[in-house]
Amino acid sequence: MSSVKERFLRYVQVETTSNEENEGCPSTEGQLELGRMLVRELREMGIDDARQDEDGYVYASIPAKGEKQRPVIGLIAHMDTSDAVPGATKPQIIPAYDGGPITLLNGMVIDPFDDLPGLTGKELIVTSGDSVLGADDKAGIAEIMTLCEKLMHPDAPEHGKICIGFTPDEEIGRGADRFRIREFGANFAYTVDGGALGELEYECFNASSCTVRIKGKSIHPGSAKDKMVNAAQLAMEFNAMLPAWERPEHTEGYEGFYHLTEMSGNTETAELRYILRDHDGEKLEKKKALMQAAGDYLNGRYGAGTVNLTIRDSYRNMKEVVEKHPEIIERARKAFLENGVEPVIKAIRGGTDGARLSFEGLPCPNLSTGGYNFHGRQELIPVQSMEKMTEVLMSIVCG
């Protein structure tokens, strides 16, 4: 039987960064490779219906054990990792964290922050400093897979039917696009895709994306007066029209933001890509309207068609669905407490596959994985937190 640590270290070796530029599903070959690995391991456990569909999604189920009628519970995690930084992982293990700064293999230093003092003495898995670690969400996968193996043991406690799903391309907002809810078969589910141990989340952002394309006019700078339209300069002008205090680095809690994720350009053309987030749907609509107004202003100044915006909605705040099913939240809360973990009910400053799935008929709050610093080179996770989350999941499905 593999430990959750062994599984995690194995899964992070597979490079699964998703690629928003590729419209295929999954968007990268590595996700297919990881999916095949997971199917193989599930079948080796004796889960005969484990399969990967043509879109890369992995599904499996564990039959109910015992006479008691229980709900059919789903557990979901995603296979891709963020493209915010490189994804070729070389994990480093710190057997017993001493509470001080952590020097990574490439010389980068993680200074202790508010959460790290509580991890003193824990075994940590960190990055080399050259990539993400991939705990978002391979920790969730490792925890679910470890649970599956425990449930397939003859001495496993009684439980209802359990449905397993591993999705591609969650990080680029497509994880729920081709998820087969009816085939999945659960009454409700949990995504295991959160952060520090104990997090229990059923509120998330309302989310949209915006691509701003700018057309300029290139003229030799020596004779450019009153003729040149510098697209790169207009891109900076557009960004300056958005409120600086509503950027991610200046917001917290229920405060929404405009986040410039990518930019490119020259005198002739430029492109800006944003994600827009707010827990309040009306406030998100106002953010979208402000961006459109900024584009309209520049078009009025420099000519129609100079600035073109494409705004797309990604997901909505799942609170309005999940709060109608308080028993799902209570089941998870009790499971944390039964395992000595104080549940921390909070709003996600992000989103999960569960947001979309909730609105499509599968109520789906989010659970912690135990990790910290997702989407960055300083990502880390305590081994003990992954072990504890496996115990929490056992309590959830056997409750």
pLDDT tens digits for range 67-123: 999 999 999 999 999 998 888 778 999 999 999 999 998 999 988 766 677 899 999
How many helices and strands in the chain, by DSSP H and E? 10, 17
The helix/strand/coil state of 396 is helix
pLDDT in tens, 260-316: 999 999 999 999 999 999 999 999 999 999 999 999 999 999 999 999 999 999 889
The helix/strand/coil state of 98 is coil
pLDDT in tens, 112-162: 766 677 899 999 999 999 999 999 999 999 999 999 999 999 999 999 999
In this predicted structure, the answer to whether residue 253 has a pLDDT above a threshold of 80 is yes
Residue 115: beta bridge partners? none
**Stretch 26-49: mean pLDDT:** 98
**Stretch 341-367: mean pLDDT:** 93
Give pairs for 285-290: CB < 8 Å, separation 24+. 287/208, 287/246, 287/256, 287/258, 288/208, 288/210, 290/242
Can you tell me the distance from the alpha carbon of 61 to that of 254, in angstroms, rounded to the nearest whole number? 36
In this predicted structure, the answer to whether residue 382 has a pLDDT above a threshold of 80 is yes
User: Would you list the domain boundaries of the chain?
Assistant: 4-204+317-398, 206-315
- Any alpha helices (H) in 70-227, and if so which ranges? 135-151, 181-184
Which of 304, 293, 307 shows the shortest CA–CA distance to 234?
307
**Stretch 330-341: mean pLDDT:** 98
Residue 62: beta bridge partners? 162
Residue 259: beta bridge partners? 275
Average pLDDT score, the chain:
95
Residues 6+ away with beta carbon under 8 Å from 333:
200, 343, 345
Can you tell me the distance from the alpha carbon of 304 to that of 325, in angstroms, rounded to the nearest whole number? 49
- Cβ atoms of 192 and 8 within 8 Å: the answer is no
- Cβ atoms of 218 and 228 within 8 Å: the answer is yes
Task: Dump the DSSP string for 217-249.
Answer: B---GGG-TTT-B-HHHHHHHHHHTS-GGGSGG
State in words which class domain 206-315 has. alpha beta
Using the 8-state DSSP alphabet, how is residue 252 labeled? -
Name the one residue in this structure whose structure tokens are 């809360």.
Answer: 333
Question: Which region holds residue 335: left if phi is over 0, alpha if psi is between -120 and 50, else beta?
Answer: alpha
Using the 8-state DSSP alphabet, how is residue 250 labeled? G
Which of 188, 166, 192 shows the shortest CA–CA distance to 72?
188
Known catalytic residues are 80, 170
- Residue 166's pLDDT is 98
pLDDT in tens, 219-237: 999 999 999 999 999 999 9
- Residue 117's pLDDT is 72
Can you tell me the distance from the alpha carbon of 250 to that of 257, in angstroms, rounded to the nearest whole number? 9
- Cβ atoms of 92 and 103 within 8 Å: the answer is no
- Residue 114's pLDDT is 61
- Cβ atoms of 174 and 25 within 8 Å: the answer is yes
State in words which class domain 4-204+317-398 has. alpha beta
